[in-house]
């Protein structure tokens, strides 16, 4: 088995300098543990600041692994957005997932990011074993309270090789993949709650994970759209997404005109 190795800070600095000298201005860091450990993450931010590398960058961010200094370093080094794999706004479900996180820590981190105008994109799983209508309402309340800029909801996918499958008798799990049920919910009910949440959350804009993830930010910036226009674009798209959930023929011509006007002016 190959030995796990991480790139040295010196090599990262060399790579970032090379990219900047090649004219790169927008970066996506795809490491899903980018701010682990904290000390290494701070060093990367400090490299960008020290060398005056005018990057716009987005990354994964773990709210459970942060401190007060990090947020200013992120802003100063050009962070414009983060993807937050929050998974649930219910502490009960987070505990079932065996996540080392708590909802208050999430809320504190999102608040600090929002204060610095760093775009927050939260991702949630609906229907995890132990999920109930009460825990889903907790997640809905969490999204509203946190004022995430964007959020998406994913239907729980039951993988039989995942650790939770070892507790299938405890939760009464039957089925696999997207065809499942457990003691407190099945995939159909969870799907209904996803539609309900998309339609009823007011303080955050729903986006599809694959169609318009946080990764779209550096791409669209590279294509010439400003961050302000990108945010305006998502506001135009919101009613289109919500209307499409009813799977009925709709006239989106006015919205299409708004989008065309926005991106061409």
DSSP 173: -
Instruction: Identify the pLDDT of residue 1.
Output: 64
pLDDT at 5: 81
**Residue 247 and residue 159 in one domain:** no
Same domain (yes/no): 125, 144: yes
Does residue 215 lie in a domain region? yes
Look at the chain and report how many structural domains it folds into: 2
Whether residue 66 sits in one domain with residue 171: yes
| Nearest residue to 59 (alpha-carbon basis) of 113, 136, 127, 133 | 113
Domain containing 256 equals: 225-265
Same domain, 101 and 201: yes
Give the CATH number of the domain where residue 216 resides. Answer: 3.80.30.20
Percent of the chain with pLDDT over 90: 78
Residues 4-17 have pLDDT tens digits of 788 899 999 999 99
Q: What is the largest CA-CA distance in the chain?
A: 58
* Averaged pLDDT, 215-229: 88
> Is residue 27 in a domain?
yes
- 219 and 245 in a single domain? The answer is no
The whole-model pTM stands at: 0.92
| pLDDT for position 222 | 87
**E strands within 158-199?**
174-176, 179-182, 185-186
Same domain, 263 and 192: no
Residue range 141-187, pLDDT digits in tens: 999 999 999 999 999 999 999 999 999 999 999 999 999 999 999 99
> Do the domain assignments include residue 3?
no
pLDDT range class, residue 34, cuts 50, 70, 90: very high
Query: Same domain for 247 and 144?
Result: no
Do 69 and 200 fall into the same domain?
Answer: yes
In this predicted model, what pLDDT tens digit does every residue of 92-124 receive, in sequence order? 999 999 988 899 999 999 999 999 999 999 999
How confident is the model over 73-94, as a mean pLDDT? 97
DSSP 49-93: HHTT---EEEEE--TTS--HHHHHHHHHTTEEEEEEEEE-S-HHH
Same domain, 195 and 255: no
Taking residues 260-265, report their average pLDDT.
89
Note whether residue 252 is domain-resident. Answer: yes
32 with 157, same domain? yes
Strand ranges (E), the chain: 26-29, 56-60, 79-87, 119-126, 150-155, 174-176, 179-182, 185-186, 205-206
With a pLDDT cut of 70, the percent of the chain lying above it is 100
The verdict on 150 and 230 lying in the same domain is no
Q: Domain check: are 76 and 64 in the same one? A: yes
């Amino acid at each position: 088995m190959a030995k796990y190795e991480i790139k040295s800070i010196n090599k990262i600095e060399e790579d970032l300098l090379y990219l900047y000298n090649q004219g790169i201005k927008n970066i996506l860091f795809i490491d899903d543990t980018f701010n682990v450990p904290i000390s290494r993450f701070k060093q990367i931010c400090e490299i960008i600041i020290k060398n005056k590398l005018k990057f716009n960058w987005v990354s994964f961010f773990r709210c459970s692994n942060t401190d007060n200094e990090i947020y200013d370093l992120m802003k100063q080094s050009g962070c414009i957005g983060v993807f937050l794999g929050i998974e649930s706004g219910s502490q009960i479900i987070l505990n079932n997932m065996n996540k080392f996180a708590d909802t208050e820590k999430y809320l504190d981190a999102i608040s600090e990011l929002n204060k610095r105008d760093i775009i927050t994109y939260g991702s949630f799983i609906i229907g995890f074993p132990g999920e109930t209508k009460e825990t889903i309402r907790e997640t809905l309340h969490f999204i509203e309270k946190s004022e995430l800029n964007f959020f998406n909801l994913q239907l729980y996918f039951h993988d039989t090789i995942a650790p939770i499958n070892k507790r299938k008798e405890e939760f009464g799990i039957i089925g696999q993949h997207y065809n499942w049920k457990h003691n407190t919910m099945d995939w159909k009910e969870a799907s209904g709650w996803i539609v309900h949440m998309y339609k009823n959350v007011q303080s955050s804009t729903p986006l599809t994970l694959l169609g318009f993830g946080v990764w779209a930010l550096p791409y669209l910036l590279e294509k010439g759209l400003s961050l302000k226009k990108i945010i305006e674009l998502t506001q135009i798209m919101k009613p289109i997404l919500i209307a499409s959930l009813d799977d009925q023929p709709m006239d989106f011509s006015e919205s299409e005109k708004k989008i065309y006007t926005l991106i061409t002016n």
